[in-house]
Copies of this chain bind each other. A is one copy, B any other.
Amino acid sequence: MALKARALYDFSSENPGEISVQENEIVTLYSETDIEGWLEGMNARGERGLFPASYVEVLRSDPHSAFNSTGTTDGYPGSRYANVPSVSAYPSLPQQDSFSHTPASGFITFATPSHQVPLQQQQHQQQHSSQVSQGSDDDWDDDWDDNSTVADEPGVVSGGSYPDYDGSGVGRYRVSTRSDASSVSRGSNAQHGAKSSATVSRNLNRFSTFVKSGGEAFILGEAAGFVKDGDKICVVMGQYGPEWQENPYPFTCTIDDPTKQTKFKGMKSYISYKLTPTHTHNPVNRRYKHFDWLYARLVEKFPVISVPHIPEKQATGRFEEDFISKRRRGLIWWMNHMTSHPVLARCDVFQHFLTCSSTDEKSWKLGKRKAEKDEMVGANFFLTISTPANPLDLQDVEAKIDGFKTFTKKMDDGVLQLTNTASEFARKQITGFKKEYQKVGQSFRYLSQAFELDQQMYSGALNHAIAYTGETYDAIGEYFAEQPKQDLDPVMDLLALYQGHLANYPDIIHVQKGALTKVKESKKHVEEGKMELQHAEGINDRCNIISFATLAEIQHFHQIRVRDFKAQMQHFLQQQIAFFQKVTHKLEDALQKYDNV
């Protein structure tokens, strides 16, 4: 009997080699083993080809194996990406033994219905996710398929990136932020180095960022690892407070030549970018999936660092010029923020990504495995931080963090509003403004055509001048339509990057707040005689480390914010000035035509 599967959602073939399937359609599988997320088979209409493995459930007797089948009841009815959160948002759940610590009554801040699926099923999810975002045994030519299925996209249907810190559970909907992806991937190493030796109560909420990031484990003294000299990260006191020690070897990296490559005998295609770091001058070729892999590594490694989001995935139009150009601009901004960050710029996995030869498969594989087996991630990351000798005043820290929280909320609103305005303004210039100027141009040309019927030779120069004025207004209409690429698009690129950062900060603040709460709790325990002073002092010291790191990160954020917004506002205004000057010169040119009339 041939192996069958049932389609869970509609899938429309978009490339040669793919076949379309409809929800509930029964397909025949040629093999149960997917090729990088794709299955090969035949649909009900007899068409043979590839379709996303995640879009079907294999029909077999074991009901628990069909992990995707919960997708239709996960609270996102009607969405093609309905089960995305359940697949990608929690790729690595806690180990079974630590999971048993979680009482059934524990409230779940990030809960969606699909989190309450049976454990066996969750493990399936974990397994599936590993396949997608880790794939430790792939080699260089392997393909995680950044273009195969949107269901792999983390954060596409992300929910509230601003979870309520007070636990009221009120989130808000944001379009295209990757906050869930980060909060989730952090969770994947939540228990790194964690031991069950706590004397302070654990958070009931096993899904809180504080727990998932490793913040709790570190505060409770459960993190343990050997910190090499090269891994040391220093926070120093600067003019405005704690800051990351500057990178002594600053560099930048260009991203050029997006090139279309093909594989599967041309059946699948992808874009390759040439990266040239200034500290090596050796160009390497990287694909979007490599950025995506790197991003996942960074997010799990650095709990209180705002890792810049890579540009969004996109299901369709991936090979259109506009999209390629936009993604490249997004990657350039991402690279800018990576190389600007004193900690991120220097970390091993990023250096491996930037410097490993594209053709040296063995080195790449080695570096990749090393990064995926890095022990100094999550809770252990905090072990690598060295701080100034004088501890911070906790109340000061709390006030600063609260102030920053207020700031990020307001800035997020401002960025969102400016994004919407800029987007609408661009649209108006491309459509309405262009149309209005070109209608003026057309009317002038029409009048000049009428004037040409005047039988008076001596008005020929006037007719020509008016026709030229008409063409001038046509051209000005085009100028308006082309202008947003020069000024508004770059502004929107910047705003998109900052939307990503602003979506990261709630989690970062959450970790810091969690640490502060543990300090207060431990002080109370000491007063009540439930805890040894020494233990409480340890908690306090570790909280101090988290506070230093958090404030250093906030400081860094402000520095690049002022740098970026200054530069971008200047660029915007310069482009606007150039635009209005161009229009002026065009009009002056038209005016001259009347001199000889």
Q: Residues 245-267 of chain A: 1 if any B CB is under 8 Å from the residue's CB, otherwise 0?
A: 00000000000000000000000
In-complex Cβ contact of A566 among B433, B565, B583, B594 (8 A): B594
- Give Cα A418–Cα B446 distance, bound, in whole angstroms: 8
Contact A558 B454 (CB under 8 A): yes
Residue of B nearest to A410 (CB): B450
Measured between beta carbons, the chain B residues less than 8 angstroms from A428 are 432, 436
Contact A566 B462 (CB under 8 A): yes
Contact A439 B455 (CB under 8 A): no
Cβ of A474 to closest chain B Cβ, rounded Å: 13
Residue of B nearest to A441 (CB): B421
Interface residues of A in 414-457 (CB under 8 A from B): 414-415, 417-418, 420-422, 424-425, 428, 432-433, 436, 439-440, 442-444, 446-447, 449-451, 453-456
Residue of B nearest to A557 (CB): B454
Measured between beta carbons, the chain B residues less than 8 angstroms from A558 are 454, 456, 459
A226 CB-CB contact with B under 8 Å: no
- Give Cα A400–Cα B410 distance, bound, in whole angstroms: 73
Q: Residues 151-176 of chain A: 1 if any B CB is under 8 Å from the residue's CB, otherwise 0?
A: 00000000000000000000000000
Contact B587 A577 (CB under 8 A): yes
- Give Cα A583–Cα B422 distance, bound, in whole angstroms: 19
Cβ of A262 to closest chain B Cβ, rounded Å: 43
- Give Cα A573–Cα B588 distance, bound, in whole angstroms: 8
Contact A443 B421 (CB under 8 A): yes
Measured between beta carbons, the chain B residues less than 8 angstroms from A450 are 407, 410-411, 413-415
Contact B587 A580 (CB under 8 A): yes
Contact B584 A411 (CB under 8 A): no
Contact B417 A443 (CB under 8 A): yes
Contact B451 A411 (CB under 8 A): yes
Contact B425 A440 (CB under 8 A): yes
- Give Cα A462–Cα B418 distance, bound, in whole angstroms: 16
In-complex Cβ contact of A418 among B410, B417, B443, B459 (8 A): B443
A386 CB-CB contact with B under 8 Å: no
Contact A447 B418 (CB under 8 A): yes
A347 CB-CB contact with B under 8 Å: no
Q: How many copies does the complex hold?
A: 2
A569 CB-CB contact with B under 8 Å: yes
Measured between beta carbons, the chain B residues less than 8 angstroms from A576 are 587
Contact A422 B440 (CB under 8 A): yes
- Give Cα A576–Cα B587 distance, bound, in whole angstroms: 8
- Give Cα A577–Cα B588 distance, bound, in whole angstroms: 7
Q: How many residues of A contact B (CB 8 A)?
A: 63
| Given A414-B449, A577-B584, also A240-B456 (CB < 8 A) | yes
- Give Cα A558–Cα B443 distance, bound, in whole angstroms: 20
A13 CB-CB contact with B under 8 Å: no
- Give Cα A413–Cα B443 distance, bound, in whole angstroms: 10
Residue of B nearest to A453 (CB): B407
In-complex Cβ contact of A447 among B400, B414, B436, B458 (8 A): B414
Measured between beta carbons, the chain B residues less than 8 angstroms from A465 are 566, 569
Contact B403 A421 (CB under 8 A): no
Q: Residues 551-582 of chain A: 1 if any B CB is under 8 Å from the residue's CB, otherwise 0?
A: 00000001001100110011001101100110
Measured between beta carbons, the chain B residues less than 8 angstroms from A420 are 443
A469 CB-CB contact with B under 8 Å: yes
A466 CB-CB contact with B under 8 Å: yes
| Given A450-B414, A584-B581, A588-B577, also A458-B562 (CB < 8 A) | yes
Residue ranges of A at the interface with B (Cβ–Cβ < 8 Å): 240, 400, 403-404, 406-407, 410-411, 413-415, 417-418, 420-422, 424-425, 428, 432-433, 436, 439-440, 442-444, 446-447, 449-451, 453-456, 458-459, 462, 465-466, 469, 558, 561-562, 565-566, 569-570, 573-574, 576-577, 580-581, 583-584, 587-588, 590-591, 594, 597
Some 21 contacts from A to B, beta carbons below 8 A apart, are A407-B454, A410-B450, A411-B454, A414-B443, A415-B447, A417-B446, A418-B444, A420-B443, A421-B439, A421-B440, A425-B439, A428-B436, A433-B433, A458-B562, A462-B566, A465-B569, A469-B573, A569-B594, A577-B591, A580-B581, A580-B584
The 3 A-B residue pairs with the shortest CB-CB distance, nearest first, are A414-B450, A414-B447, A410-B450
